[in-house]
């Protein structure tokens, strides 16, 4: 990331693994790749359920997550995005963008940090 830190790619299945990784990594922001960019989203109540994970690990999934406002795409529509709401519950800046716009989103984030590119 050209001296700006690091980017970690996290592919997750469910919100609990995402939250666990975000708590461990303590990122300055989370970029969610979704079908389309979003400017924000409503609070969500994800139904609780128990899941069986790898290696026989069982964990609980779900709960109440807050509304969020994205750190980019102010003109995009708003919409429900559970990963964005989960990241926002940790007080993390969130950007939701489309797959084709990942590079531009990362570059915009780099440009917004001190000292430019």
pTM: 0.85
* pLDDT attached to residue 70: 94
List C-alpha distances in Å: 13 to 18, 20, 65, 73, 114: 8, 12, 17, 25, 33
pLDDT for residue 96 is more than 90? yes
pLDDT for residue 93 is more than 60? yes
* pLDDT attached to residue 2: 58
* pLDDT attached to residue 6: 79
Q: Please tell me which residue, 26 or 14, carries the higher pLDDT value.
A: 26
pLDDT digits 0-9 by tens, 32-49? 999 999 999 999 999 988
What are the residues facing 95 on neighbouring strands? 31
* pLDDT attached to residue 117: 55
**CA–CA separation, 84 and 56 (whole Å):** 28
By mean pLDDT, which of 13-17, 24-28, 78-82, 98-102 is the weakest? 13-17
């Amino acid at each position: 990331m050209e001296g700006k830190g690091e980017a970690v790619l996290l592919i997750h299945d469910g919100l609990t693994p995402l939250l666990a990784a975000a708590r461990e990594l303590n990122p300055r922001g989370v970029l969610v790749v979704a079908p389309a960019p979003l400017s924000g989203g409503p609070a969500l109540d994800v139904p609780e359920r128990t899941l069986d994970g790898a290696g026989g690990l069982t964990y609980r999934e779900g709960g109440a997550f807050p509304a969020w406002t994205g750190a980019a795409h102010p003109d995009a529509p708003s919409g429900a995005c559970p990963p964005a709401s989960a990241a926002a519950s940790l007080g993390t800046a969130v950007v939701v963008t489309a797959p084709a716009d990942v590079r531009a989103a990362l570059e915009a984030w780099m440009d917004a940090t001190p000292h430019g590119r």
